[in-house]
Structure 1
Amino acid sequence: MNMLDRPDLSDIRQGDWVDRLLPGAWRPYTRLARLDRPVGIWLTLFPCWAALFQAAHGLPNIQQLAVFTLGALLMRSAGSTINDIADRKFDGHVERTRFRPLASGRIGVRQALTFLAIELALAASLLLFLTPYTRLVALCVVPLVFVYPFCKRFTHWPQAVLGAAFNWGMLMAWAELTGHIPAGAVVMWAGTIAWQIGYDTVYAYVDVKDDKQLRLKSTAILFGRHGKLIVGLFYAVAILAWSLGGWLTGMSLAYAFGMLVIAMHLAWQTTRINLARPDVNYRLFLANILTGLLLAISALAGSW
């Protein structure tokens, strides 16, 4: 059986904690914000923490850590809501996404837009705790957040746009803690984009069959049978960029050891990629939570 036809590849698990514990009215919004699938939140949060640790050269204060943590949660959730609104007519035809609230008809577009307005208002309220310069940097990411869901209609590189938006908090962290964004911070951010192109391409191979039928684009479709090699190259670029960025930001030898561990982990991931096994590729996508955690730990250790 083609693995794309297996129901367990759906990204919504029927009967999970959302169905068991939450009132019926809350469930579609919880799923719209991806609180039941927090992998994206972790993949946004850990690089942001890494930048905070590097910019503070240690631990930031509790308010800074709280604001950026909540910001990652809210912006990731808002981005997911925008994505589901934009893709509602496609998601119902994709095995992985067919049970999402808008695709399945659990809620309507008007309700989703109201929920999005609340998410964005909460995220905007966090700007009150940041410097004017950081607020300006934050506003610059808004166009990327709104354009990303439509990228798959006209470019094979939506993963690059997502990577830039997903990790914008890294630039904001430096803006907030130091008042400027040094070259090392930009290099770290660029490395994280390369990493995200890699792991999100692995994720995109889960949907290749459906995306082709819907005439959508992705790096997985672009790379085709060469995906394993090209993903490995993007992971290598990420390691090189993170290593250079760490040197430019004054990281210690402990950071270099962390880069070695991450390099081995990404090399292991690359050897395990199987373009014909979406279930394997999905698990490898999830394994990048550990990559992000290792990056944050390396930045904290390197700051001391």
Structure 2
Amino acid sequence: MSITEGRVADAVRGSWVDSRAPASWRPYLRLARADRPIGSWLLLLPCWWSAALAAIAAHQPLPNLWHMVLFAIGAVAMRGAGCTYNDLVDRDIDGLVERTRSRPLPAGQVTPRQAKLFLIAQVVVGALVLLALANPFAWGIGIASLGIVAIYPFMKRITSWPQSVLGLAFSWGALMGWAAAFGRLDLPAYLLYAGSILWVIGYDTIYAHQDREDDAIVGVKSTALLFGTRTPLMLGLFYGGAVLFFAAALWLVGGSVIAVLGLLVFALHLAWQIARLDIEDPDLCLRLFQSNRDAGLILLAGLMAEAALRALV
């Protein structure tokens, strides 16, 4: 297969990568999942929540907009780097799974050496974003996340809870926004982080149900395989726990009815996901997983509205 051929089986059909990007760029953009921005959104949202929560605590009408922009750039770069690294580690497994065998590495669209160079370039962008925060404490917090990112691809080989490690990594932004604003970490940020971890475990369990049968064949583990038909019950526990942790964080910063209303609508969205879930329908699992972007934006809207209100009183 040439470098300009081959769409990825689980990619969005008709994306800008397929229709507008230069042909020679497409394998690299697919490697970074640029045709599937949902991952960048899910990495970014805890950063923005944390920045908004810090604004509430500081009685500021808006989060630091420069930080919000930097987090957006960093989320795209580091999500792409994480996907590239994950594909390098998993390229043999991906070649055995129907949904992933057409990814650039197992399909031969890029070589491992090319993928490693691309990985380095994305990490450099992430490092520049971190430096631009101009906060040594935030630099340390950001660098600390790399250890979790490094071990994540191996977790599916040794534990049925790889989603929990993904939660640790994808929720890191819940610490970063607060750290960048205050140069320290306080209990509200830790509570936000804990809630986000539970949220990630929930939505990634839904996502993992797409590969449940292939994973069992090739011998990798997931909470989807662990929970099976008990998935709705377990989602209720994880999503419910996430809402409680978020409520506690809001209480500590003095959140009013505005923030609580946003959290309530967020909770209703999560309940809707559980009610709609059919673990035997991979397409539905994908749609419900993707809907978490909207759930996260709902929570963000409540936090932003609370910050604006707080600054007026």
Shorter chain as denominator, the TM-score bin is over 0.9
Matched with 1:92 is 95
Q: 2:64, 2:181 within 8 Å by CA — same for their partners in 1? A: no
Q: How does 1:1-304 map to 2 (within 5 A)?
A: 10-13=9-12, 16-57=15-56, 58-130=61-133, 131-303=135-307, 304=309
Distance 1:53 1:13, change over 3 A: closer
Cα deviation, 1:22-76, whole Å, max 9, x if unaligned, reads 2221001111111100001111112211111111223233322221111111111
Cα deviation, 1:104-136, whole Å, max 9, x if unaligned, reads 110010000000000001111122222111101
Structure 2 stretches lacking a partner, 5+ long? 1-6
Distance 1:278 1:20, change over 3 A: same
Cα deviation, 1:148-205, whole Å, max 9, x if unaligned, reads 0111000111111111111212211111101211111111111011011001000101
Distance 2:266 2:106 in 1: 37
1:137 Cα deviation (Å)? 0.8
Distance 1:9 1:276, change over 3 A: farther
Q: 2:12, 2:36 within 8 Å by CA — same for their partners in 1? A: no
SS in 1 for 2:22: coil
Query: What RMSD, in angstroms, separates the aligned Cα atoms of the two structures?
Result: 1.5
Identity of aligned residues (%): 46
Structure 1 stretches lacking a partner, 5+ long? 1-7
Aligned length: 297
Alignment TM-score, normalising by the size of structure 1: 0.94
Distance 1:266 1:127 in 2: 32
Distance 1:16 1:127, change over 3 A: closer
1:9 Cα deviation (Å)? 10
Distance 2:177 2:284 in 1: 34
Alignment TM-score, normalising by the size of structure 2: 0.91
Distance 2:122 2:264 in 1: 38
Matched with 1:5 is none
Matched with 2:3 is none
Distance 1:9 1:111, change over 3 A: closer
1:13 Cα deviation (Å)? 4.5
What is the letter of the counterpart of residue 29 of structure 2? Answer: T
Distance 2:275 2:196 in 1: 20
SS in 2 for 1:141: helix
Q: 1:228, 1:275 within 8 Å by CA — same for their partners in 2? A: no
1:262 Cα deviation (Å)? 1.1
Distance 1:98 1:228 in 2: 29
1:17 Cα deviation (Å)? 2.6
Distance 2:288 2:43 in 1: 17
Distance 2:115 2:8 in 1: 24
Cα deviation, 1:218-244, whole Å, max 9, x if unaligned, reads 011111121111112111111111111
> For structure 1, which segment, 294-303 or 188-197, has the greater mean C-alpha deviation from structure 2 after superposition?
294-303
Distance 2:237 2:166 in 1: 19
What is the letter of the counterpart of residue 127 of structure 2? Answer: A
1:249 Cα deviation (Å)? 2.2
